[in-house]
Amino acid sequence: MQLELSVDRGSPVPLYFQLSQQLESAIERGVLTPGTLLGNEIELAARLGLSRPTVRQAIQSLVDKGLLVRRRGVGTQVVHSQVKRPLELSSLYDDLEAAGQRPATKVLVNTVVAVSAEVAAALGVAEDSEVHRLERLRFTHGEPMAHLCNYLPPGLLDLDTGQLEATGLYRLMRAAGITLHSARQTIGARSATATEAERLGEQTGAPLLTMQRVTFDDTGRAVEFGTHTYRPSRYSFEFQLLVRS
Amino acid sequence: MQLELSVDRGSPVPLYFQLSQQLESAIERGVLTPGTLLGNEIELAARLGLSRPTVRQAIQSLVDKGLLVRRRGVGTQVVHSQVKRPLELSSLYDDLEAAGQRPATKVLVNTVVAVSAEVAAALGVAEDSEVHRLERLRFTHGEPMAHLCNYLPPGLLDLDTGQLEATGLYRLMRAAGITLHSARQTIGARSATATEAERLGEQTGAPLLTMQRVTFDDTGRAVEFGTHTYRPSRYSFEFQLLVRS
DNA sequence: GTAGTCCGGTTGTCCGGACATACGAATTGA
DNA sequence: TCAATTCGTATGTCCGGACAACCGGACTAC
């Protein structure tokens, strides 16, 4: 049997993208089982009425995602392992929502302050400028899970406390037309201070998972600097890595 | 002024790869400064005597690495931020060596044991099979930094204690012809038990950074399962993320 | 029986061209 | 003066073809 594939030339969606999505969904649904040979590119192109470069572009995008492996002289086959999703720059709020965790947010601080030296260096703004300062508690199932402290350059975004409690910061930024590009982050651990413990419902000295992140948009401007602390009993970082070749 | 670019058609190295390497090195050396327009693809192709698809392939690879940004109707420009290296599946040993930290390893355990249920599930081997069990301490500057506990499926690799103390596990696996493909990992934190604290020179109850990882080769076989604990005062995970678009 | 060689099949690389689409700036109009 | 339109230019998509490099199995020769 062969997979049902078809493309719609009337659609504004690129042909290679239509194809790669169909292949991806077939793999996800288990129609294309691990180890299956995809059949040669030439014949696949002929069957769909596409050119080989277009088919190759579709396949290549799935190879980049780690779903397929190509072997010269052999063929292209579905990768054998449980690749979920390679790591991407993600929003804690979105991650929790996708996991069905019903995140809730309480805004503790939402003001404009003069920058500290550390924040100025991280964001790349002048030492005498002002920045937005944001402090939030994130809950799941009514229990505190993380404390989020963020700084944003001035004039970038209107930060409405109501919106911040209803959704995540990244979503607000995207809605404001900011296209996120990359982030530099550090994950570590340390003991909770008394105030941190109080906030998160832990005991003083309890281990905390920490994350610092600077996020850049596509012009290279730093758009956010955050220092987060997580309760390790309720949260850990989980992700898939691919080997770059 | 224009960048000096040239390709060698006699070389077995693909043309697009020669070009992308030259561009990357130019960016790295600062010859191409952030924000610089790369000049249109057509003209670039003509100047090098290449076709546009070849030039595009070179540029695309750098876009994927996060070094360049394309804007339709505008051009391709060097990205503005301090992109170091996007996260890849890396070896602790190699990372430390690259940072000039002179890693040292002490092998505590190197035997074959019957699998536990947890390890069998992680590696995807039968419940009654045997696996290599490896326990190591990793030092920098004479101080313990991490405790590494690993399990490998049987018959995959000869594990020589001498070699393990001289280099890293991933290097040995690559040398044995295993091509690593992907890994699934979890980073968390917890308190040190008495024995863990003893091993790492910490106090009981001190916060530890933990990492669990299952690594797969390109056939989808699990080739390694590891449970690592790090001293947070001496180690943290640091990496660059790119937005998948 | 074993080693070396040949060959079919598949992906890798590269070409030259064509049209579509989006961005930005100059131009035009109110 | 300001908004809408036009237009040049760059990337985005797609085509059809060509040859090279590599893998694996079959065949052959020793």
| pLDDT tens per residue, range B110-125 | 999 999 999 999 998 8
Over residues B76-91, the mean pLDDT reads 73
Chain A positions in Cβ-Cβ contact with residue B209 (cut-off 8 Å): 187-189, 209
**A24 membership: H or E segment, kind and range:** helix A15-29
* Per-residue pLDDT band at B2 (split at 50, 70, 90): low
d(CA A76, CA A160): 50
Q: Is the CB of B227 under 7 A from strand D?
A: no
Q: In whole angstroms, give the CA distance from residue A79 to residue B53.
A: 28
Q: Give me the DSSP letters along A135-178.
A: EEEEEETTEEEEEEEEEE-TTS----HHHHHHS-HHHHHHHTT-
Q: Which residue has the higher pLDDT, A90 or A206?
A: A206
- B106 vs B2: CA distance, rounded Å: 52
CA distance A4 to chain B (A): 25
Mean pLDDT of A124-153: 93
pLDDT of residue A152: 94
Q: Is B204 on the interface with A (CB under 8 A)?
A: no
User: Among all residues of chain A, which has the CA nearest to that of B53?
Assistant: A53
Using an 8 Å CB-CB cutoff, list chain B residues near A69: 181, 218
Mean pLDDT in residue range B19-42: 88
Percent of chain B with pLDDT over 70: 95
Nucleotide nearest to A51 (CA to C1'): D15
Neighbours of A186 (CB within 10 A): 14
The predicted pLDDT at position B1 comes to: 42
- Of residues A181 and A197, the one with the higher pLDDT is A197
Q: Are B56 and B49 in contact (CB under 8 A)?
A: no
Q: What are phi and psi of A127, to 5 degrees?
A: -65, -25
Quote the pLDDT of residue B8: 87
Q: Which residues of A touch B180 (CB under 8 A)?
A: 243
Contact criterion met (CB below 8 Å) for B93 and B168: yes
What integer is the mean pLDDT of A222-241?
92
Work out the average pLDDT over B140-164.
89
The mean pLDDT value for B213-217 works out to: 90
pLDDT above 70: residue A219: yes
Chain A residues touching B190 at Cβ < 8 A: 207, 232
Region B97-107 average pLDDT:
87
Q: How far is A71 from chain B (nearest CA, A)?
A: 10
Q: How far apart are CA B90 and CA A183, in angstroms?
A: 18
Q: Could you report the per-residue pLDDT of A41-76, keeping only the tens digit for each?
A: 998 898 899 999 999 999 999 998 888 999 888 889
The pTM (predicted TM-score) of the whole model is 0.85
Average pLDDT score, chain B: 88
Residue A160 CB contacts under 8 Å (≥ 6 apart), including other chains:
none
Please provide residue A172's backbone torsions phi and psi, each rounded to the nearest 5 degrees: -65, -40
Query: What's the mean pLDDT in A117-141?
Result: 92
Across the interface, do B79 and A209 touch by the CB < 8 Å criterion? no
- In sign, the C-alpha dihedral spanning B175, B178, B184, B186 is negative
pLDDT tens digits, one per residue of B46-71: 888 999 999 999 999 998 888 899 98
Chain B contact probe: residue of A36, A54, A71, A81 with most B CBs at under 10 A: A81
Interface test with A, best of B193, B225, B241, B242 (most A CBs within 10 A): B241
Mean pLDDT of chain A: 88
Kindly report which amino acid residue has its CA closest to the C1' atom of nucleotide C9. A73
SS3 (DSSP) at A183: strand
Q: What is the CA A74 to C1' D24 distance in angstroms?
A: 8
Distances (CA, A) of B30 to A10, B7, B20, B164, B170: 45, 21, 15, 39, 33
pLDDT cut 90: percent of chain B above it: 46
Q: What is the 3-state secondary structure (H, E, C) of chain B?
A: CCCCCCCCCCCCCCHHHHHHHHHHHHHHHCCCCCCCECCCHHHHHHHHCCCHHHHHHHHHHHHHHCCEEEECCCEEEECCCCCCCECCCCCHHHHHHHCCCCEEEEEEEEEEEECCHHHHHHHCCCCCCEEEEEEEEEEECCEEEEEEEEEECCCCCCCCHHHHHHCCHHHHHHHCCCCEEEEEEEEEEEECCHHHHHHHCCCCCCEEEEEEEEEEECCCCEEEEEEEEECCCCCCEEEEEECCC
- Percent of chain A clearing pLDDT 70 (strictly above): 95
